[in-house]
């Protein structure tokens, strides 16, 4: 059974990024199943820090993007979610290629949600673990 209350295709999800930071950083939603949402982000001049590695802040943008959209998908008409706390632990450096974020719920309550976002490098090695807490409004 799917946890999503809103029915959206990957194409529709990706269209929501037009004109936003999500589009600017090249984040693309790539997979949606009954209990997870995935997206990819390039490691390039838009997402690297001055030393040529993936910027930790870019990883947090990917994590918050996934958790916020996943939270939105669990709401109904007239509701929305807003982030209240995000944290990230960076495990390994990534210098090039693409990273993939996988977002799954840890807690889905009436007033709050907690999402875990695992970010993997191109070899499938975990490079970041993030957690996003959201408040459900409406």
54-105 residue pLDDT tens: 999 999 999 999 999 999 999 999 999 999 999 999 999 999 999 999 999 9
Q: For residue 51, what is the DSSP state?
A: T
pLDDT, one tens digit per residue, over 99-133 is 999 999 999 999 999 999 999 999 999 999 999 99
Q: Is 1 a domain residue?
A: no
- Cα-based distances in Å from 82 to 48, 54, 116: 27, 26, 16
Report long-range pairs for 121-127 (Cβ below 8 Å, ≥24 apart). 121/92, 121/94, 121/97, 122/94, 122/97, 122/98, 125/92, 126/91, 126/92, 127/54, 127/59, 127/90, 127/91, 127/92, 127/93, 127/94, 127/99
Q: Which domain holds residue 131?
A: 10-137
The structural domain count of the chain equals 1
Q: Is 48 a domain residue?
A: yes
Look up the pTM and report it.
0.97
What is the CATH classification number for the domain harbouring 94? 3.10.129.10
Q: Is 64 a domain residue?
A: yes
Q: Is 20 a domain residue?
A: yes
Q: Is 57 a domain residue?
A: yes
Instruction: Look up 64 and say whether it is catalytic.
Output: yes
Determine which one of 64, 77, 85, 116 is catalytic.
64
């Amino acid at each position: 059974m799917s946890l999503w209350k809103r029915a959206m295709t990957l194409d529709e999800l990706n269209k929501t990024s037009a004109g936003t930071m999500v589009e600017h950083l090249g984040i693309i939603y790539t997979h949606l199943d009954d209990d997870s949402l995935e997206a990819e982000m390039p490691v390039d001049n838009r997402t690297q820090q001055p030393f040529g590695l993936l910027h930790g802040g870019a990883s947090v943008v990917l994590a918050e993007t996934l958790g916020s959209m996943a939270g939105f998908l669990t709401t109904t008409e007239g509701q929305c979610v807003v982030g209240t706390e995000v944290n990230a632990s960076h495990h390994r450096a990534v210098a090039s290629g693409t990273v993939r974020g996988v977002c799954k719920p840890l807690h889905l309550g009436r007033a709050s949600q907690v999402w875990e976002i695992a970010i993997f490098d191109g070899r499938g090695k975990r490079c970041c673990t993030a957690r996003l807490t959201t408040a459900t409004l409406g």
